[in-house]
A and B are shown apart, each in its own frame.
Chain A
């Protein structure tokens, strides 16, 4: 990455794991009885039937290190083994090798979106996704992370965007939105209530989002701004599993918020950006923020609850919803999107397993930035497809650009004519015209 490939080594990887192993990890490894129920919770296992995709198996190298170095029994076994070996004149065999990590790389990256569904069902209570996130730290430090994610991280550090997108591209879009809406998009405004962040994926694939928030915030009289210094919310460091990279990217947001003196930062319709900045960010930079972080859906629902969003008319077709893992199961935002749906949908039906038990779309956690995982990503989507087929909606609603892209591509692949919409745009479409609600 930024330090150059030579600074990665097996030893650095193992050291990263040593730093990550804490009391929860030790309690989880101590408790696994190999029941295999986590496999039944994983879309990658369920849709491929290959036991190597069993979530807990993805952690085997890290478990070996824990056993050997953090348990009395493991230390004893190593001492005995080494002394017998020494007597026979044999070199001690390394516990974990580069070949082993190479074999595990696709298990930790290509077949895991860190969706945390396994963490919800493990009978002994293992939070497996918590450990996968930690395991990736060691994979990065040892130089065993996928090319696609490495490239995205380098671009994010160098240009500010994992897709290499520049402010001037966004500026073009800002102009378009301003022309279309006849509203001004505030840039670098001091002392406003909210700093709005975007994701490159959204800017490229779903420009409707920027237009939607521009309209909604104007309607509700919210003071907000974009920052020229930092418009990107996503965090490649969180996806690849590097606290160092993650901290660098989060610091840019903190600096931008500080410079503008804002009290609140809004993360866009993107899953990992939200968990990255909301939960991981302060821990990566090792201090609490001087501002609050919200997902756009939280902000919209608060505006709704405060009576600041007035809507008219409802969508008449049958709608269902996909909860992004990072927003629902991993961040506790579950009721908000449903209250917003009630506002604008007349025929809304939840998928059978939804909210904290919803199935991942198959693309998060860096899987969609990893070309090698393309086939697995589509395989995992089949679980979502089965869920969608069960309730037969006419359209799907979601609130994460990665989920949305995956749903669109997956549904198209299987020739299912079900459009996917972002919830924020859907709200914007139903706003009551301005003259009835005076701007404060």
Chain B
């Protein structure tokens, strides 16, 4: 198989397969959660649940001052690489074009040097997060092989993208093929691991805000 064959494989059948597993898998996961439902609540509410629920979805991007003071590394590095990942994914010119050609909707992208710098920072932040996971007592105690697996699966698309952009892997079709493959692995693994939090965290935050909101507290 030539590098070009490899690239065509990742862009063609493998890409469709990854998208299918991701979409169907994630739909099943969300259905598994939502169909469990909630028992009827007989207690007279103090407040409405919906608005506080939505507000909590937003508020948890922003930790309370006490948590920031006690865990500044988690907050700063965690925010940094999450934002970096999303920027690289959604605001890099080739990605925007891919989305446009697939779904027919597009938006302005950031200039390449900016996305390049953000990617470099994100890679460093992810390495720092891994070191922190290995060293901080609570994180090390909680971590399972799955936590390290999803770290790797998240790290690889960024790394291969960075290497491909800087032509550090040759020939280029191989570099691009590896990058696309790593993204496909990310998509395939997503519904079966904690990567589901990308979607379910919004559901969780909503429930949290709604449960507290009903009692008159903005959580």
- CB of B138 within 8 A of CB of A286, answer no
- Of A124, A125, A285, chain B has the most CB atoms within 10 Å of the CB of A125
Q: Which of B66-74, B107-115, B173-181 touches A?
A: B66-74
- CB of A37 within 8 A of CB of B39, answer no
Q: Which residues from B are CB-within-8-Å of A282?
A: 41-44
Q: Which of A45-53, A173-181, A215-223 touches B?
A: A45-53
- CB of B205 within 8 A of CB of A124, answer yes
- CB of B32 within 8 A of CB of A70, answer yes
- CB of B29 within 8 A of CB of A72, answer yes
Shortest A325–chain B CB gap in Å is: 11
Give the complex CA separation of A287 and B43 in angstroms. 8
Could you list 18 examples of A-B contacts with CB < 8 Å?
A24-B204, A25-B36, A27-B200, A27-B203, A31-B196, A33-B197, A36-B139, A51-B142, A52-B141, A70-B36, A121-B66, A122-B208, A123-B63, A127-B204, A279-B215, A288-B42, A356-B217, A356-B219
Q: Which of A192-200, A328-336, A421-429 touches B?
A: A328-336
Query: Which of chain B's residues has its CB closest to A121's CB?
Result: B67
Cross-interface CB contact of A286 among B28, B42, B46, B139, cutoff 8 Å:
B42
Shortest B20–chain A CB gap in Å is: 15
Cross-interface CB contact of B142 among A34, A49, A287, cutoff 8 Å:
A34
- CB of B64 within 8 A of CB of A72, answer no
- CB of B74 within 8 A of CB of A37, answer yes
Kindly state whether residue B194 has any CB partner on chain A within 8 Å: yes
Give the complex CA separation of A356 and B215 in angstroms. 12
Q: Which residues of A, 204-258, contact B by the 8 Å Cβ criterion?
A: none
Q: Top 4 nearest A-B pairs by Cβ distance? A: A332-B216, A125-B205, A282-B42, A51-B141
Cross-interface CB contact of B43 among A127, A278, A356, cutoff 8 Å:
A278
Give the complex CA separation of A124 and B196 in angstroms. 11
Q: Which residues from A are CB-within-8-Å of B147?
A: 33-34
Kindly state whether residue B47 has any CB partner on chain A within 8 Å: yes
Give the complex CA separation of A133 and B202 in angstroms. 22
Give the complex CA separation of A385 and B150 in angstroms. 40
- CB of A73 within 8 A of CB of B43, answer no
Cross-interface CB contact of A283 among B41, B139, B202, cutoff 8 Å:
B41
Shortest A380–chain B CB gap in Å is: 16
Give the complex CA separation of A72 and B191 in angstroms. 10
- CB of A73 within 8 A of CB of B204, answer no
Number of B residues, CB within 8 Å of A: 60
Q: Which residues of B, 193-219, contact A by the 8 Å Cβ criterion?
A: 194, 196-197, 200-209, 211-212, 215-219
Contacts A35-B78, A70-B36; A283 near B43 (Cβ below 8 A):
yes
Q: Which residues from B are CB-within-8-Å of A8?
A: none
Shortest A269–chain B CB gap in Å is: 19
As a 0/1 sequence over residues 53 to 72 of chain A, the CB contacts with chain B under 8 angstroms (1 = contact) are 01011000000000000111
Query: Which of chain B's residues has its CB closest to A57's CB?
Result: B142
Kindly state whether residue B119 has any CB partner on chain A within 8 Å: no
Shortest B119–chain A CB gap in Å is: 22
- CB of A39 within 8 A of CB of B200, answer no
- CB of B29 within 8 A of CB of A30, answer yes
Shortest A56–chain B CB gap in Å is: 7
Contacts A127-B211, A280-B43, A356-B217; A54 near B138 (Cβ below 8 A):
yes
- CB of B138 within 8 A of CB of A30, answer no
Q: Which residues from A are CB-within-8-Å of B209?
A: 125
As a 0/1 sequence over residues 12 to 35 of chain A, the CB contacts with chain B under 8 angstroms (1 = contact) are 000000000111111110111111
Kindly state whether residue B34 has any CB partner on chain A within 8 Å: yes
Give the complex CA separation of A73 and B24 in angstroms. 13
Cross-interface CB contact of B33 among A26, A33, A46, A127, cutoff 8 Å:
A26
Give the complex CA separation of A22 and B38 in angstroms. 6
Cross-interface CB contact of B137 among A25, A49, A73, A121, cutoff 8 Å:
A49
Give the complex CA separation of A34 and B70 in angstroms. 17
Interface contacts beyond A30-B29, A331-B217: sample of 6 additional A-B pairs, CB < 8 Å, sorted by A: A23-B36, A24-B211, A32-B197, A120-B219, A125-B204, A279-B43
As a 0/1 sequence over residues 9 to 36 of chain B, the CB contacts with chain A under 8 angstroms (1 = contact) are 0000000000000000000110011111
Shortest B208–chain A CB gap in Å is: 4
As a 0/1 sequence over residues 49 to 81 of chain B, the CB contacts with chain A under 8 angstroms (1 = contact) are 000000011001001101100110010001000
Kindly state whether residue B143 has any CB partner on chain A within 8 Å: yes
Q: Which residues from B are CB-within-8-Å of A26?
A: 32-33, 36
As a 0/1 sequence over residues 98 to 140 of chain A, the CB contacts with chain B under 8 angstroms (1 = contact) are 0000000000000000000001111111110010000000000
Q: Which residues from B are CB-within-8-Å of A54?
A: 138, 141-142
Shortest A205–chain B CB gap in Å is: 28
- CB of B43 within 8 A of CB of A126, answer no
- CB of B44 within 8 A of CB of A288, answer yes
Q: Which residues from A are CB-within-8-Å of B144?
A: 34
Kindly state whether residue B37 has any CB partner on chain A within 8 Å: yes
Give the complex CA separation of A45 and B219 in angstroms. 21
Query: Which of chain B's residues has its CB closest to A54's CB?
Result: B138
